Structure 1
């Protein structure tokens, strides 16, 4: 029985894709993977940023990071990415659907095109990329040794935010439900599907909010802080390790308890 921590949490040699991996939460996850010996493909729309992130991540750990820039919000960009990946790999162990978008505006002024953009990037792109990469995920996987899909949701999909982010919250609730749907469909085929629902973390998307409200956010959080790279990378590593291979269809809040309520002194 392989209960030694070095074996139970060993992910070395596994092949992963992290979308939106050049910055923010995606980069945190990619860094955790590369630091622990995984071969990790990162993708982002901006080629320069993607290439630079891969170069920096290759300076750490025993894994390898490869940049494959792509605009996954379009069918053309997604198809090219899938073809490029399939020309390099015949098996994918891990897919992290992290790329996303947000839009804030008052209810009466919320643009139709903004709502469509957020839903397309946050929900439709996850569905289509997972669908198109499923042959690689299913190749040589089994219920005993499954491939893994991690979808990045949000606590704004678990509770109603005070911000005017109508499409974002709805899109993340949809991501959580899609996670459960895919988990039931692909568990029998050797693929687990789980979601991480982050609270406040240092990221490009949160930059403006944290600049104005970080003190308030931390004061209201039961653990008194925002999330850090160890929090995000640690949970992602658990979800791709043998320690979690009997877990699927779960939406895990990673927010210091904030989705439950505000800190009680």
Structure 2
């Protein structure tokens, strides 16, 4: 059974506006993972979408995030699907802003999975929107810590687990959730977020070069617009404009991002290392969103 570990996404904003993300089922991912994999994924947003895809394909999934109630709720929601697919899903909540919490989390994961971890999904993230003149200094610390620093922290801490599950024929996988805002200059004032995602894209490449020698791959998805809590206010205000500027004329759905992660986790993705895959419907080619 594939063992996957993933973190959920957080959000900080000077004027928070959000509601629950879409939970459209992901029941038809394009590629089936190896039969023994543990992905780790998140309880909310894109992480929740990806978790559903892994569970639908029979993986053993660990969810984490600072909101324990949200982790437990996600596990409860996914349990019927897990029962049908032969998967299992578990919650390991933690506040990933804190190094001690990251260490506690990986210790708990190691105790549960002494044989190793097949997939680490680095999905936790934060955003902060404000004008250039008003952008606060502490926003940079919060956003870069979670979006970039803790990606390195968790990858480093999980290395022993990943190495135990890795082999030349079937590498362990580290998958990062980036953004098209790390590729192009965004039109919305989210300076720390876009800078952190650009850094994440390059960190993934640096890790790929280093980890490949340990039979571990590192790849990043640059995601476009998806119906998440973080994107809700933007989609409520500019949803039609955004759709019209995406060449495929729609917002992303859960199977788009889940299928990409499942491909990278499968035998078909075993030789993919250091890649940046745009999951955006071509949005990064447009100039008005």
Asked whether the two chains share a fold, i.e. TM above 0.5, the reply is yes
Q: 2:259 corresponds to which residue?
A: 234
Q: Does residue 145 of structure 2 align to residue 145 of structure 1?
A: no
C-alpha deviation, 1:124, in angstroms = 0.3
CA contact (8 A) 2:180 2:224 kept: yes
Gaps of 5+ in 1: 1-7
CA contact (8 A) 2:33 2:262 kept: no
CA distance in structure 2 between the aligned counterparts of 1:106 and 1:11, rounded to whole angstroms? 46
Normalised to the residue count of structure 1, the TM-score between the two structures is 0.93
Normalised to the residue count of structure 2, the TM-score between the two structures is 0.86
Map 1:164-175 onto structure 2 (within 5 A). 164-175=189-200
Q: Structure 1 runs of 4+ off > 4 angstroms? A: none
Aligned Cα root-mean-square deviation (Å):
1.2
CA contact (8 A) 1:12 1:38 kept: yes
CA distance in structure 1 between the aligned counterparts of 2:123 and 2:165, rounded to whole angstroms? 24
CA distance in structure 1 between the aligned counterparts of 2:197 and 2:287, rounded to whole angstroms? 21
Map 1:212-231 onto structure 2 (within 5 A). 212-231=237-256
Q: 1:63 corresponds to which residue?
A: 87
CA distance in structure 2 between the aligned counterparts of 1:226 and 1:16, rounded to whole angstroms? 25
CA distance in structure 2 between the aligned counterparts of 1:56 and 1:13, rounded to whole angstroms? 23
C-alpha deviation, 1:9, in angstroms = 3.3
CA contact (8 A) 1:11 1:36 kept: no
Q: 2:158 corresponds to which residue?
A: 133
CA distance in structure 2 between the aligned counterparts of 1:57 and 1:10, rounded to whole angstroms? 18
**Residues 122-157 of structure 1: CA distance to partner in whole angstroms, max 9, x if unpaired?**
000100000000100011412221000000110000
Gaps of 5+ in 2: 1-30
Matched length: 254
3-state SS of the aligned residue for 1:215?
Answer: helix
Q: Does residue 62 of structure 2 align to residue 41 of structure 1?
A: yes
CA contact (8 A) 1:222 1:262 kept: no
